[in-house]
Structure 1
């Protein structure tokens, strides 16, 4: 029996990065031997065991053969005669196909160290195309290591494009697509993930509402970058600078889906795109099973980002309407997140990246002014039912008016 550290732990160690999880491969062993040593077997598809103390995963060396569509359509052969080279051959990228033994000796049959040195994401073998999930995984790796200068090997990108051109990508589960997407959106360079998916054709398959934005123009006086797809990428970049929250980054990504529905004869303006985008966002969220927190903020961002951009022109009644619709009284943090999204949108334009955005602060101050209205005093006055609501709205509008007057002077 020989045990090797494999995969991401070896890769990140060689890159000088911190290691979060460690995976092991066991060569020359049987399930019975593992069980006799106190390991606990998990997983039904192939023999994986949990270490009796560390609970880290130890998988028997195995060979996989494609038998059906999708990323689950494999049969696995695990036996003592499967070699370390056999096991590493089935992995996705050469940088993930390096093993290390207890003496820190490296086993690198597919030149992963060379590709680490040259910062290349390259497939191990032609079997790469058998697993459609690898398209998303490579896009995620491209985003994760973009700051280190990693790029995808041209021949690997071609294989990714071939997978996307087939029907294989549609076999992926929505949950797994969201898992890979969420992990990438939370990273340092989330826009790289989106750009890679677009380059290989995966964006059209799983995120068609997003994919159609490239080539759709905006008015040049407001959007010097013109292209809506480029603007979307720029907004996502700004959102990543402003916040680590997944919901904020997702809302930034999908805030302009309505522009993909604008009739071409109305370009470059997009009247009503704020509300027309709501259905597109819901469709996308349903398809990929986006969590409610991300979904709700995205819908608010689509519907109200223009209101925030024009807040200095809004009437107090309109400001209160937005606050009420956003349910700011119960969910103030979500409204603060919306304002941050709007700041990212305002800065996600060529030449506007470092502009101040006083709109967010102004809207928040208007909310605080309205929030100061004493609800308990209204109830104590003896009003009932709708009269309470009407009185509350009247006083909040008056408070916003007073705030605007003081702010303007």
Structure 2
């Protein structure tokens, strides 16, 4: 039995990056031997075991054969005869197909170290094209390592194009797709993820609503970058620079989908794009079964982001309705995330990335003013039931009028 450290742990050590998770592969062992040493089995597809003390994953060396459609369409074979090189060749990228023994000796049969030095994301073997999930994974790695100068190798991008045309991407489950998309959005350069998907033709399969934004112009006075798709990438870039959470990044990606529905005869104006985009945002949310907080914020940002930009001009009654729409009295954090998404949208414009966004503090102040209205005095005045709700609404509107007047002075 020989045990090797494999994959990301080896890659990141060679890149000088912190190593968090460690995967191990075991060559020359049977499942029975692993159990006898106290390892706990997990996973039904192939033999993977948890170390009795560290809890880290140890997988028996295995080969795989394509047997169906999609990510799960593989038959696995694990036995003591499977070599380390045979196990590594089934991996996606050469930089993930290196192994290290307990002495730190590197096994690199597919030149992963050279591709690390050349900053290339290259597939290990033609079998790469058998797994559609790898399109998303490579795009995610491109987003992770873009800051180090990595790019997808041309021959790998060609295989990704073939996969995108094959119909295999449609076989991915919503859960698997969302796992990769959500991880990619949380990388340092999530806009690169979307760009790589676009370069290989996968974006129009997975997210045709986002693909439809590219080539759609906006008024140059407000959007010097002009192209709606380029703007979306810039908004995502700002969200990452400002360390926004996943819900905000998801909302940033989808906020302008309605612009893809504007007839060419109306370009570059996009009247009512906020309302038109809601059905598209909803269908994307449902397609990937996004978590509820991501779904809700994306819809609210899609509908109200232009309210955010015009915050200083809004009437107190419109402000009150906006705060009510966000249930800001019970869910203040969601409104804070809305403000963040609006600010990223404003900053995601060519040459305006550093421009101040006073709307953010104005909206926070409005929320605070409305929240400080106390219920107890109204109860003491005898209000109850629906009448109490109406009285509270009136008092909050008064507070917002006073806030707006004070701000204007």
Alignment partner of 1:68 is 2:72: no
Give the drift of 1:9: 0.8
Q: Is the 8 A contact 1:209 1:280 kept in 2?
A: yes
In the other structure, the counterpart of 1:5 is 5
Alignment TM-score, normalising by the size of structure 2: 0.98
Aligned match of 1:208: 208
TM-aligned CA deviation for residue 17 of structure 1: 1.1
The answer for unaligned runs of 5 or more in structure 2 is: none
State the match for 1:321 in structure 2.
Answer: 321
In the aligned structure 1, how far is the partner of 2:353 from the partner of 2:304? 21
Query: Would you say the 8 A contact 1:242–1:340 is kept in 2?
Result: no
Give the equivalent residue in structure 1 for 2:364. Answer: 364
CA distance in 1, matches of 2:194, 2:224: 21
Name the SS of the counterpart of 1:145 in structure 2: helix
Is 1:144–1:189's contact at 8 Å kept on the other side of the alignment?
A: yes
- Mapped partners of 1:228, 1:41: distance in 2: 49
Equivalent position SS for 2:127: helix
In structure 1, what is the equivalent of residue 107 of structure 2? 107
Q: Which residue of 2 aligns with 1:24?
A: 24
- Quote the offset at 1:175 in angstroms: 0.5
Runs of 4 or more above 4 Å deviation:
none
Distance 1:406 1:114, change over 3 A: same
Partners of 2:48 and 2:396 lie apart in 1 by 61
- Per mean C-alpha deviation after superposition, the further-off stretch among 366-375 and 356-365 is 366-375
Uncovered stretches (5+) of structure 1, i.e. residues with no partner: none
In the TM superposition, residue 40 of structure 1 has moved relative to its aligned partner by 2.0
SS in 1 for 2:25: strand
SS in 2 for 1:20: coil
Shift of 1:354: 0.5
Structural mapping, 1:7-406, within 5 Å: 7-406=7-406
More moved, 39-48 vs 338-347: 39-48
Cα deviation per residue 1:41-70 (whole Å; 9 max; x = unaligned)?
222222112222222111111111111111
TM superposition score normalised by structure 1:
0.98
Local SS of the residue matching 2:355:
coil
Deviation at 1:79, TM superposition (A): 1.4
Q: CA deviation at 1:241?
A: 2.1
CA distance in 1: counterparts of 2:200 and 2:304, whole angstroms: 33
Separation (CA, whole Å) in 2 of partners of 1:370 and 1:46: 57
User: How far off its partner does 1:289 sit?
Assistant: 0.6
**Residue 335 (structure 1) shift:** 0.5
Deviations 1:340-374 (A, max 9, x none): 11111111111211100101111221222222222
Contact 1:61 1:78 in 2 (8 A): yes
- The separation in 2 between residues aligned to 1:43 and 1:310, in whole angstroms, is 52
Tell me: CA distance 1:306–1:244, structure 2 relative to 1, closer, same or farther (3 Å): closer
Partner Cα separation in structure 2 for residue 338 and residue 223 of structure 1: 21
CA–CA separation in structure 1 for the residues paired with 2:399 and 2:37:
72
Shift of 1:207: 1.1
Report Cα offsets for 1:169-198 as digits up to 9, x if no partner.
111111011111111111111111111111
In structure 2, distance between residues paired with 1:370 and 1:52: 55
Q: Please give the secondary structure, in 2, of the residue aligned with 1:361.
A: helix
CA distance in 1, matches of 2:68, 2:390: 63
How far, CA to CA, are the matches of 1:55 and 1:335 in structure 2?
40
**Structure 2 residue matching 1:236: 3-state secondary structure:** helix
SS in 1 for 2:4: strand
CA distance, structure 2, for counterparts of residue 375 and residue 61 of structure 1: 66
Q: What is the number of residues matched between the two proteins?
A: 409
Q: 1:375 to 1:288 in 2, by over 3 A?
A: same
